[in-house]
């Protein structure tokens, strides 16, 4: 009998995070939310401090041939801003650690920082520090700090049985955009989808409005995929969820292009990541308020599901009426 050592790929990304949470268990009186939410939340005087970090690695998260340094700079900040949006916080300032190859052109670096500054200005945040290093591949790690009112912030763990499940914008565009970027046969790439992948827009205003008006009970940003991120909410909230497939909001470009890459028109919208839309739950009493907020911000918000008891777990109602319990939930880095 051969005993093989366990490797990272056997455990998977979410398995690893669960282990880390277990190993490093933390109890400190100023900690409001630790590992297991979009950002860490710490009490600081009368306010809550929100802290999030995200790493982008060349040839894992992006390829130099697909993107340009300006968009890369914008996206590096946007993915962190989205974590603050998902709690309804106000982003404030950030630090960036950057690993760069020795032979990288100076114009690449200068354009990267121009993109970073563009996103920083747009969302009112400032670069206050960082670290630089040599590296074979480009590595970008941002640590973004935001603020919020203690009682208003939205976490993954607030969903209640009977709540509605909503999502902003449309889903699957970024994942389909990635397929388009990777498709060497395709000369002229559909711009809308590609831009959703390369230039995601964090839903900062929407997040703050949902938190400020106390409309939502739980919230997350859709970075791993609709099914995977719904799973994060229901696991943290100890509830179940039912999603109606035919309600999932799909864009025009998605509908036109999805058949080129998938027989099932919903698969990519269900499990593709990086849309950076907001997924949230709210009491049915809030429905009119939420729809009116959607109109006033001109952001589509769609009622895609409902929260059910924990023992029912996650159910997907297919277009043909069949109910399934999806097994594979989006993307796992290590599998």
Out of 18, 118, 143, 293, name the contact with a copy of itself by CB under 8 A.
143
Out of 68, 129, 162, 205, name the contact with a copy of itself by CB under 8 A.
129
Using rule CB under 8 A, residue 8 touches a copy of itself:
yes
Tokens describing residue 273 = 């990541």
Which residues lie across from 313 on neighbouring strands? none
Which residues lie across from 142 on neighbouring strands? 54, 96
Using rule CB under 8 A, residue 131 touches a copy of itself:
yes
Out of 1, 2, 3, 5, name the contact with a copy of itself by CB under 8 A.
5
Out of 126, 183, 205, 246, name the contact with a copy of itself by CB under 8 A.
126
Which of positions 206-225 make contact with a copy of itself (CB under 8 A)?
none
Residue given tokens 């043909």 in the structure block: 320
Using rule CB under 8 A, residue 19 touches a copy of itself:
yes
Query: Looking at beta carbons only, is 56 or 161 nearer to a copy of itself?
Result: 56
- Please, what is the minimum distance in Å from the beta carbon of residue 25 to a copy of itself? 9
Site map (CB under 8 A) of a copy of itself, residues 29-68, x = contact: --x--xx-x-xx-x-xxxx-x-xxxxx-x-xxx-------
Query: Looking at beta carbons only, is 118 or 195 nearer to a copy of itself?
Result: 118
Looking at 21-29, 170-178, 263-271, 281-289, which segment touches a copy of itself (CB under 8 A)?
21-29
Out of 1, 2, 6, 311, name the contact with a copy of itself by CB under 8 A.
6
Sheet with 240-244: list strands edge to edge.
218-221, 278-282, 164-168, 301-308, 240-244, 314-317, 323-324
Looking at 25-33, 153-161, 197-205, 292-300, which segment touches a copy of itself (CB under 8 A)?
25-33
Query: Looking at beta carbons only, is 66 or 93 nearer to a copy of itself?
Result: 93
Using rule CB under 8 A, residue 120 touches a copy of itself:
yes
- Please, what is the minimum distance in Å from the beta carbon of residue 221 to a copy of itself? 13
Tokens describing residue 265 = 């028109």
Q: For a copy of itself, how many residues bind (rule: CB under 8 A)?
A: 76
* Distances from the Cα of 199 to the Cα of 116, 131, 192, 236, 296, angstroms: 12, 24, 10, 29, 24
Exposed / middle / buried, residue 279 (Cβ in 10 Å: 0-12, 13-18, 19+): buried
Using rule CB under 8 A, residue 26 touches a copy of itself:
yes
Query: Looking at beta carbons only, is 130 or 212 nearer to a copy of itself?
Result: 130
Query: Looking at beta carbons only, is 60 or 324 nearer to a copy of itself?
Result: 60
Out of 18, 64, 66, 95, name the contact with a copy of itself by CB under 8 A.
95
Q: Rounded to whole angstroms, how far apart are CA atoms 329 and 318?
A: 16
Q: Which residues contact 322 (CB under 8 A, 6 or more apart)?
A: none
Task: Name the strand (E) or helix (H) holding 323.
Answer: strand 323-324
Which residues lie across from 52 on neighbouring strands? 144
Q: Which residues contact 179 (CB under 8 A, 6 or more apart)?
A: 261, 268
* Distances from the Cα of 125 to the Cα of 36, 121, 184, angstroms: 25, 6, 37
Using rule CB under 8 A, residue 118 touches a copy of itself:
no
* Distances from the Cα of 2 to the Cα of 5, 7, 172, angstroms: 10, 15, 43
Which of positions 187-206 make contact with a copy of itself (CB under 8 A)?
none
């Amino acid at each position: 009998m051969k005993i093989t050592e366990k490797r990272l790929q056997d455990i998977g990304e979410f398995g690893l995070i669960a282990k880390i949470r277990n190993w490093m268990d933390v109890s400190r009186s100023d900690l409001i939310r630790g590992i297991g939410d979009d950002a860490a939340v710490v009490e600081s005087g009368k306010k809550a401090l929100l802290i999030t970090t995200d790493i982008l690695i060349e040839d894992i998260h992006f390829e130099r041939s697909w993107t340009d340094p300006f968009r890369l700079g914008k996206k590096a900040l946007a993915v962190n801003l989205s974590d603050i949006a998902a709690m309804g916080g106000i982003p404030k300032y950030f630090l960036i650690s950057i690993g760069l190859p020795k032979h990288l052109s100076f114009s690449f670096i200068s354009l990267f920082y121009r993109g970073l500054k563009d996103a920083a200005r747009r969302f009112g945040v400032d670069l206050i520090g960082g670290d630089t290093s040599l590296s074979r591949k480009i590595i970008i790690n941002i640590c973004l700090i935001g603020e919020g009112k203690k009682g208003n912030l939205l976490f993954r763990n607030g969903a209640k049985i009977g709540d509605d499940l909503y999502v902003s914008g449309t889903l699957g565009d970024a994942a389909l955009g990635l397929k388009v970027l990777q498709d060497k046969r395709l000369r002229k790439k559909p711009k809308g989808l590609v831009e959703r992948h390369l230039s995601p827009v964090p839903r900062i205003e929407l997040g703050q409005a949902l938190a400020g008006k106390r409309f939502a009970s739980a919230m997350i940003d859709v970075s791993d995929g609709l099914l995977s991120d719904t799973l994060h909410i229901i696991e943290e909230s100890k509830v179940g969820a039912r999603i109606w497939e035919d309600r999932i909001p799909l864009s025009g470009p998605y509908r036109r292009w999805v058949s080129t890459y998938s027989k099932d028109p919903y698969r990519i919208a269900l499990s593709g990541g990086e849309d950076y839309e907001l997924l949230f739950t709210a009491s049915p009493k809030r429905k009119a308020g939420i729809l009116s907020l959607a109109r006033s911000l001109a952001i589509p918000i769609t009622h895609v599901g409902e929260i059910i008891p924990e023992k029912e777990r996650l159910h997907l109602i297919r277009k043909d009426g069949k109910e399934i319990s999806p097994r594979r939930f989006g993307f796992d880095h290590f599998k």
